[in-house]
Structure formats: structure tokens, C-alpha cells
């Protein structure tokens, strides 16, 4: 193959990765909810308990938006799907800023539903399109993309919160919606799918092995018909639930163990930093090992996180809570990297956008599991009981890796045999 062709693809895919990561940095602002929750209560004159539900609505809408986005992208292309996502993101934030005062319904509709749908559509389309450019480094590309998405709340969320005293929450939300919408729309005109021979160009060993075996080992069946998906979901749902329970209440829980309000706000940003860092580190682990090892490592971090947070509330030790929150951010950041790489490796590229969106519905189930744990424990005001329940579940997630690994190996042998 001409070296100039390979060099050209390498150059274009790095531009694609940079553009996609920058766009996800803005879309990731939706995760800054814990930073915005208190200012929203004050500025919009809303109750704290009612505002908290917005985060769960947003995560459910995110997953629904990802599934819708996969179908929109299939029908009208990458550009059209991302433009629609950009419009929804703008309407979600701007609508909240302009009309939410005194109305929790507007917050649920705009920030929770429309914002969540927009981010889900944009995220799924951008990630699935960009990862196809990296058949040889899917863990790396997934990690960099997720890092941008995770760091949005730290970098732009912190900046937005600092602007609120100067301009007011409403104008800041309108500005956030406009900036995110413009960046996402610009990305829509820069992204495209890779050439059909991308695997032969960038991963010739994979292409040769695929041709020799009569296939690449990917399972082209509809993923809901494959039992291994449900084993993966058990692990993913629990890790997501632990992460959401921490992220959604990080600042408030930090203050319960004696951390002052200023550092509690900073801790939210530090958790986002670990979230973003994990996405690169876990991606590198995936590329150097396999899905089984990566799941076990990420699940072990989640279990350690629960143990630290339980210890923090049981003993009133702030340092333990800080360590646990950072580990939670890391574990939560690693899950979507594993999910995107798992979707690509296990089910191939033909239906990757749809498969990725279906696999990522683990966020819905994780959100519901987090809410169920809180309800069983007596509410968010009983964090020790909440994380005791989640700590037990973290052990279940670790144990689940064993049957998953056996099924993974058996399915891979069967697929190659066919």
C-alpha cells in the first residue's frame, strides 16, 4: 500500500480525534450538574430535593438520545445527527437559563430532558464515528474522547460557576448553550466516516488474520440475543451506579464529613479530573491487555472507592472520603471506555453506532440502581447506608467478571469456528 495513503489517514484521524475531543469537552458540561445545583436552587428559587432529580432525568435522557442518535445518523448521516444534537444542547441550557425561575418543570424539561437528549445524540455519533478511524488503537481513541467528555465539567464547569456572580446564572446558561451548540455544529461539518479499507491500512495484521479466518471474530448477531451482553451489563450497571451516587452528591456529602464548602466544590472538579484521566489510562490498559483484565481492574477500583467512603462516614475522616470520591471518579470514567471498546471488538463495525447506544443504556439501569439504593437506605441524607449497599454490589461486579471471562473465551472460539 502507498505510504502516502497511510500517512494521510494518520494525519486525518488525529485531526478527527482532536476535533471530536474538543466538541465532547463542551457536551461534557452536562456533567457539571453538581456544581450548578446549589446556584440553580438560589437563582431559580427551587427546592434542593426537587433539583436533585434532574441528574437522574438527564442520565436517562442521555441514553435514549444515544439510541435515537444512532438511528438518525444511519438515516441522514453524521452531520445531520450532530447538528440536531447541537440544537438540543442549546435549547436545553438556554431554555433553563431563560425560563426556569420558579418552575422545576422547566428544569426537568430543558436541562434534564432536552439537554440529556442532545448530549446523548452528540456523544454517541461523535464517539462511534471517531473510533472507526482507530481499528488498531480503539482503547486509546476511546480513552482520549472520554477524557474530553469527562474534563468538561472541571474546565468549563468551573469557569461557568465563577462567571455566575458576575453575570447571573440565567445569562451564563444561555452563553453555555450557545458556545456548546456552536462548537458541536462546527464539529458536524468536520467529521466523516473513515475509508472502507481503514482496517487494511492501519491494522494490516488484523486484516490478514480476519481474511485467514474468514472473519474478524466479531459477532454480527443483534447484541440483545447474545448472553454475554447481560453479563457485561451486570458489571457496568453496578460501576455506573457507584459513580452516579458519588458524582450527583459529591459536594454535599463532602461537607457531611467535615470538608469545607470551598474545597467540596473543588473536589467535584478533582473527581472530574480523575474521571478524565481514567479514560486514557483504562484505554491504554485495554490496548495492552484485554477486556477481561480491564473490567477487573476498573471494578476493583470501584470496590476500593466504596470501602473508603464507607470508612469516611463511619469514622468522620475527610481524607478517606476524598480518596474514595477520586477512586469513584476513576472507576466511573473507565466504564464507558470499556463499553465502547467492547462494542467495537465484540460486535464489529457494521452496526457500531446502534450497538454502542444499546450497551450504554447501562447508564439508565445504573441510575435506577443508584436511586433504588438511596430509597432503600432512606434517602440521600443516609450516605453511609447508601454506600454500604453499593459496596456489597461492588463485590458482585468483581465476581461477575469470572463468568463474563469464560463466556467471552467460549464465544470467541465459537465465532471463529463458524
Residue ranges per structural domain of the chain: 1-195, 223-417
Of the pLDDT bands very low, low, confident and very high (cuts 50, 70, 90), residue 1 is: very low
Of the pLDDT bands very low, low, confident and very high (cuts 50, 70, 90), residue 212 is: very low
Instruction: Out of 1.20.1250.20, 1.10.760.10, 1.20.140.10, 3.20.20.80, select the CATH number for domain 223-417.
Output: 1.20.1250.20
Q: Which of 403, 272, 412 is nearest to 342 (CA)?
A: 412
End-to-end CA distance of the chain: 30
Cell numbers at 366, concatenated: 445504573
Provide mean pLDDT across the span 193-210.
70
Q: Which of 212, 200, 201, 16 is nearest to 126 (CA)?
A: 16
Tell me, yes or no, if the two domains 1-195 and 223-417 fold the same way: yes
Of the pLDDT bands very low, low, confident and very high (cuts 50, 70, 90), residue 355 is: confident
Cell numbers at 199, concatenated: 482496517
- Would you state the pLDDT for residue 282? 87
- Would you state the pLDDT for residue 151? 77
Of the pLDDT bands very low, low, confident and very high (cuts 50, 70, 90), residue 27 is: very high
- Would you state the pLDDT for residue 156? 86
Provide mean pLDDT across the span 375-404.
92
- Distance between CA atoms of residues 85 and 37, nearest Å: 23
Mean pLDDT, the chain, integer: 87
Three-class secondary structure of residue 350 per DSSP? coil
Q: Which residue has the higher pLDDT, 293 or 3?
A: 293
Q: Are 178 and 90 in contact (CB under 8 A)?
A: yes
- Would you state the pLDDT for residue 382? 87
pLDDT at 392 over 50: yes
% pLDDT > 70, the chain: 93
- Would you state the pLDDT for residue 371? 86
**Superfamily of segment(s) 1-195:** MFS general substrate transporter like domains (1.20.1250.20)
- Would you state the pLDDT for residue 407? 93
User: Lowest-pLDDT range, 1-5, 138-142, 158-162?
Assistant: 1-5
- Would you state the pLDDT for residue 346? 85
Cell numbers at 401, concatenated: 467478571
Burial class of residue 17, CB neighbours in 10 A (0-12, 13-18, 19+)? buried
Q: How far is CA 129 from CA 73, 115, 140, 356, 368, in A?
A: 10, 21, 14, 11, 29
Q: Which residue has the higher pLDDT, 278 or 204?
A: 278
Q: What is the pTM of this model?
A: 0.77
- Would you state the pLDDT for residue 206? 58
pLDDT at 17 over 70: yes
Q: Which of 127, 107, 122 is nearest to 55 (CA)?
A: 107
- Would you state the pLDDT for residue 119? 94
- Distance between CA atoms of residues 416 and 213, nearest Å: 7
Could you report the per-residue pLDDT of 74-85, keeping only the tens digit for each?
A: 899 999 999 999
Amino acid at each position: 500500500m502507498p505510504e502516502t495513503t497511510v500517512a494521510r489517514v494518520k494525519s486525518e484521524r488525529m485531526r478527527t480525534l482532536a476535533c471530536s475531543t474538543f466538541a465532547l469537552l463542551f457536551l461534557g458540561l452536562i456533567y457539571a450538574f453538581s456544581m450548578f445545583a446549589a446556584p440553580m436552587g438560589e437563582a431559580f428559587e427551587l427546592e434542593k430535593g426537587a433539583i436533585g432529580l434532574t441528574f437522574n432525568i438527564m442520565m436517562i435522557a442521555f441514553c435514549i438520545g444515544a439510541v435515537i442518535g444512532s438511528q438518525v445518523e444511519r438515516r441522514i448521516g453524521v452531520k445531520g445527527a450532530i447538528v440536531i444534537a447541537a440544537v438540543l444542547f442549546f435549547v436545553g441550557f438556554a431554555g433553563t437559563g431563560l425560563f426556569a425561575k420558579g418552575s422545576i418543570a422547566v428544569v426537568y424539561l430543558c436541562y434534564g430532558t432536552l439537554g440529556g437528549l442532545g448530549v446523548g445524540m452528540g456523544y454517541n455519533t461523535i464517539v462511534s464515528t471517531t473510533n472507526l478511524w482507530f481499528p488498531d488503537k480503539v482503547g486509546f481513541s476511546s480513552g482520549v474522547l472520554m477524557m474530553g467528555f469527562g474534563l468538561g465539567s472541571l474546565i468549563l464547569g468551573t469557569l461557568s460557576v465563577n462567571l455566575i456572580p458576575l453575570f447571573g446564572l440565567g445569562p451564563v446558561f444561555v452563553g453555555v448553550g450557545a458556545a456548546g451548540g456552536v462548537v458541536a455544529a462546527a464539529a458536524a461539518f468536520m467529521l466523516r466516516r473513515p475509508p472502507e479499507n481503514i482496517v487494511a491500512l492501519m491494522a494490516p495484521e488484523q486484516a490478514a488474520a480476519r481474511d485467514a479466518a474468514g472473519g474478524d471474530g466479531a459477532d454480527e448477531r443483534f447484541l440483545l440475543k447474545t448472553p454475554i451482553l447481560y453479563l457485561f451489563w451486570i458489571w457496568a450497571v453496578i460501576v455506573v451506579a457507584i459513580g452516579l451516587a458519588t458524582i450527583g452528591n459529591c459536594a454535599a456529602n463532602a461537607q457531611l464529613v467535615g470538608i469545607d464548602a470551598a474545597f467540596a466544590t473543588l473536589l467535584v472538579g478533582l473527581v472530574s479530573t480523575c474521571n478524565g484521566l481514567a479514560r486514557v489510562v483504562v484505554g491504554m490498559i485495554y490496548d495492552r491487555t484485554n477486556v477481561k483484565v480491564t473490567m477487573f481492574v476498573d471494578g476493583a477500583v470501584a470496590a476500593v472507592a466504596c470501602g473508603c467512603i464507607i470508612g469516611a462516614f463511619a469514622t468522620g475522616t475527610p481524607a478517606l472520603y476524598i480518596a474514595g470520591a477520586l477512586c469513584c471518579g476513576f472507576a466511573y470514567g473507565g466504564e464507558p471506555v470499556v463499553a465502547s471498546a467492547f462494542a467495537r471488538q465484540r460486535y464489529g463495525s457494521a452496526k457500531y453506532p446502534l450497538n454502542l447506544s444499546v450497551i450504554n443504556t447501562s447508564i439508565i439501569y445504573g441510575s435506577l440502581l443508584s436511586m433504588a439504593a438511596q430509597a432503600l437506605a432512606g434517602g440521600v441524607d443516609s450516605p453511609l447506608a447508601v454506600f454500604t449497599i453499593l459496596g456489597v454490589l461492588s463485590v458482585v461486579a468483581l465476581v461477575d467478571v469470572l463468568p463474563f471471562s469464560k463466556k467471552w473465551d467460549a464465544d470467541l472460539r465459537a465465532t471463529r469456528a463458524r
